[in-house]
Amino acid sequence: MLRSILLALSQSPRTARFVIHNNLSRRVVRRFVAGEHLDDAVAAVRALNQAGRLASLDCLGESVATEDEARRAAAAYSGMFDRIASEKLICNVSLKLTQLGLDMSQPLCEELLAGIVNRAAGQGNFVRIDMESSAYTDRTIDICKRLRARTDSVGTVVQSYLFRTEQDARGLIAAGCRLRLVKGAYKEPATVAFPQKSDVDANYVKVMKILLTSGIYHGIATHDPRMLDATRQFATEQGIRNEQFEFQMLYGIRTDLQEQLIREGYRLRVYVPYGSDWFPYFMRRLAERPANLRFFLSNLFRRG
């Protein structure tokens, strides 16, 4: 129930105005969002790299309303690769297709994405296409497969809360795609997604095993200690080496687990979001984990 309320509030302009314009809330948000500018994100990535972590940069933003907005977003992403190279960061880039105009024009979106992926390929880097709600799953997979047929510098995400994910993962693996496995953060109807957390978790473990035995380098993205333990146990049983996959976590969340995985010799990539359009992302993080909400509320109403 609480998760549903928070996801609904993520679409509320009134709630957005309150949170965005509250100075206390903006300070708390910095735990989860590196800042509003690329310089902020670069500084965060540099610190992560120095601590032995890989990173993935994301300029926050979702559906755009005009072609000009889509082209500006694409230019920002292409420019990230130049900055990553000049700063010698160990970092790739994650992006959403709706930010590149998918809701307006799929040909425009594919044109812009191809330019970004070409820039990444030219610098030996990688683009991760984030998965959005189930309304975009088919188009995201189709676009990823078409681009993957031309370059290995692109991959996407699969979400274990969707019924279809095992089949999607197998198809994407057959196309040679590198995948990030997540549970899923959008509100979905029971017609397409598992309503019970136990079923989401069971599907996560099932798909994780498919990924790790595929021979392709994938990302296992979770903050759930049980999913981490299941992955480590399976990798050990199957003789899968630490360098054959990576764990992934979100900026500012479960840093204790991040440090533990680094100490144990695993590869860990931290997803580093930045930008002024942070409200929907922030609300999804609160919905995912009660501890995040408690942290936010305790700091929001703290005096002094």
Q: Which of 58, 130, 168, 201 is catalytic?
A: 130
The CB-side HSE value for 245 (13 A sphere, CA atoms) comes to: 29
Say if residues 21 and 252 touch (Cβ distance below 8 Å).
Answer: no
- Collapsing DSSP to helix, strand or coil, 16 comes out as helix
* 180 noted as active-site residue: yes
Single out the residue of 288, 275, 115 nearest to residue 197, CA to CA: 288
Q: Which of 53, 119, 180, 285 is catalytic?
A: 180
CA angle 240, 247, 191 (to 5 degrees): 105
Single out the residue of 263, 193, 254, 259 nearest to residue 224, CA to CA: 254
d(CA 219, CA 200): 18
* 130 noted as active-site residue: yes
Q: Any bridge partners for residue 180, and if so which?
A: 157, 219
On the 0-12 / 13-18 / 19+ scale of CB atoms within 10 A, 151 is: middle
d(CA 8, CA 77): 29
Angle between the 165-174 and 197-212 helix axes, to the nearest 10 degrees? 20
- Positions marked catalytic: 130, 180
